[in-house]
């Protein structure tokens, strides 16, 4: 019975991740809540990942207060895997995004300044990773709303230039038939693009004609290329036992 429930949770979480990638935040909420209800007693990496994904769904709907609560729960869960854990860092980014949505700009900056170096040095993230660039955009937005306009613009321009370089490389690789950006990466780069507009203004952004991130997100029915395109914990059930928590503190 436990194996059946675990399989159901895995399938619900997979489907919800696809919905999040498509920008279907409302549709993703119900299956995520159902998956969390089943996984909550496990208190393992799977549980914390679902909490993180639920926070994403709520942020996408503008439910920032509740999103912050679930993002904090994910932070507390992933902390036991070490301060350099990539999912812990990602959860902190969601906390920052929730705070920004609540116009808590000082708290947003504090969270980001505490994790940005960790994101840039993390082997599974790094300075060119879309989540790292998104984090920098959140910092730029928070600073702009604190009237630190010059600093905000500098961060946004640096982020824009970095993303442009990443996309040029990605476009070249895709045209050669090599690796192409997965749906999660395209979705996040689209969000970064939109965030850059808020800081720099559309008139200060160079036109981007590359097809790399032009895939429509909302309402798309495109499936991820492989399960590896899904969440790092939910994409492979075989990776979960190594991070299983036998009992909660």
Tokens matching residue 2: 């436990």
Q: Closest by alpha carbon to 90, among 103, 106, 79, 101?
A: 79
> For 167-172, which contacts have Cβ atoms below 8 Å and span 24 or more sequence positions?
167/208, 167/210, 167/212, 167/213, 168/210, 170/212, 171/210, 171/211, 171/212
Can you tell me the distance from the alpha carbon of 134 to that of 127, in angstroms, rounded to the nearest whole number? 11
Return the C-alpha torsion angle 124, 129, 132, 137, nearest 10. Answer: -170
Can you tell me the distance from the alpha carbon of 202 to that of 212, in angstroms, rounded to the nearest whole number? 19
**Domains and their CATH numbers in the chain:** 2-229 (1.25.40.10)
Q: What pLDDT, in 10s, does the model give residues 195-231?
A: 999 999 977 666 554 455 554 343 333 333 333 333 4
Tell whether the model's pLDDT for residue 5 goes beyond 70: no
Per-residue pLDDT at 3: 52
**Mean pLDDT value of segment 178-195:** 92
Q: What pLDDT, in 10s, does the model give residues 147-163?
A: 999 999 999 999 999 99
Tell whether the model's pLDDT for residue 19 goes beyond 50: yes
What's the predicted TM-score (pTM) here? 0.82
Burial 94-131 (b: 16+ CB within 10 A, else e): bbbbbbbbeebbebbbebbeebbebbeebeebeeebbb
Q: What pLDDT, in 10s, does the model give residues 66-122?
A: 999 999 999 999 999 999 999 999 999 999 999 999 999 999 999 999 999 999 999
**Mean pLDDT value of segment 132-150:** 98
Mean pLDDT of the chain: 84
Tokens matching residue 228: 């590896």
């Amino acid at each position: 019975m436990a194996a059946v429930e675990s399989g159901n949770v895995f399938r619900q979480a997979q489907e919800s991740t696809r919905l999040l990638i498509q920008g279907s935040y409302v549709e993703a909420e119900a299956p995520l809540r159902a998956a969390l209800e089943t996984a909550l007693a496990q208190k393992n990496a799977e549980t914390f990942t679902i909490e993180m994904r639920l926070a994403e769904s709520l942020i996408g709907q503008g439910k920032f207060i509740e999103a912050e609560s679930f993002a904090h729960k994910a932070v507390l869960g992933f902390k036991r895997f070490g301060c350099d854990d990539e999912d812990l860092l990602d959860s902190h980014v969601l906390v920052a995004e929730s705070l920004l949505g609540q116009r808590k700009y000082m708290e947003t900056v504090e969270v980001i300044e505490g994790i940005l170096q960790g994101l840039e040095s993390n082997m599974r993230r790094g300075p060119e990773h879309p989540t790292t660039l998104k984090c920098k955009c959140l910092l730029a937005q928070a600073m702009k709303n604190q009237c630190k306009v010059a600093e905000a613009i500098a961060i946004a321009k640096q982020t824009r230039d970095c993303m442009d370089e990443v996309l040029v490389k990605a476009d070249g690789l895709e045209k050669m038939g090599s690796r192409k950006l997965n749906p999660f990466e395209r979705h996040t780069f689209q969000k970064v693009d939109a965030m850059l507009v808020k800081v720099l203004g559309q008139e200060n952004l160079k036109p981007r004609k590359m097809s790399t991130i032009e895939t429509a997100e909302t309402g798309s029915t495109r499936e991820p290329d492989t399960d590896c395109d899904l969440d790092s914990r939910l994409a492979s059930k075989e990776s979960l036992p190594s991070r299983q928590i036998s009992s909660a503190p």
